[in-house]
Amino acid sequence: MNLANPLKVLLDRPIRSRKSQPCERRDGVAMSNDQADGDQLLTPAEVAAMFRVNAKTVTRWARAGRLSAIKTMGGHRRYRLSEVRRAVEAIATDA
């Protein structure tokens, strides 16, 4: 174990979900391995980065019905990657 930088040791460890299923890191975000790529859930910040808007704007779009959101047990919104991609493509073809 590297005692010089204990934070690096913690960050390099694999992350486990609550069900003890192994997770992988993708772009610094822990993701469950049992999710299909099309059904991957994104946070408002990740969706905002795709649209180049503020995360609050994405939340407003969900409230207005422009995007459908899935609410977690903690009340946070998550968005399906496949749906967000379709929305991005629709905007790109309109422009």
How far is 49 from 52, CA to CA, in rounded Å?
A: 5
Task: Give Cβ neighbours of residue 24 (< 8 Å, ≥ 6 apart).
Answer: 14, 30, 31, 33
pLDDT of residue 92: 82
The pair of structure tokens assigned to 63 is 């409230």
Q: Give pLDDT tens digits for 21-61.
A: 444 444 444 445 455 555 899 999 999 999 999 999 999 99
What pTM value is reported for the model? 0.59
Q: Domains along the chain?
A: 1-33 (no CATH), 35-95 (1.10.1660.10)
91 closest CA partner among 43, 60, 83, 38: 83
